[in-house]
Amino acid sequence: MGHAIAERLRASVAALHLAHAATDAGTVTISVGAATTNPHTTDTPADLLARADSALYRAKQNGRNQVCAADVDTA
């Protein structure tokens, strides 16, 4: 569900076609890193944030303007 919400947000920003001369595409886009946790894990908020941050950098490395999700088991 979180990935679907992030994808809708990404698509909504892209659909605005806001000019941004400093980008290859010429318009504003976003990359999103998403992470979830299970209430039965020992994850801390910092663990969750670290996984989301890692997924964000993966989205940027893969070409930007996309959503990447972190696996629950990924540190």
Structural domain span for residue 16: 2-69
| Residue 43 covered by a domain | yes
pLDDT higher than 50, residue 75: no
Rounded to an integer, what distance in angstroms lies between the CA atom of residue 75 and that of residue 26? Answer: 35
**pLDDT (0 to 100) of residue 7:** 94
| Residue 75 covered by a domain | no
- Under 8 Å between Cβ of 75 and 68: no
| Residue 39 covered by a domain | yes
- Structurally, the chain folds into a number of domains equal to 1
**pLDDT (0 to 100) of residue 74:** 42
- The model carries a pTM of 0.79
Mind listing the pLDDT tens digit for each residue in 7-19?
A: 999 999 999 999 9
Secondary structure letter of residue 11 according to DSSP: H
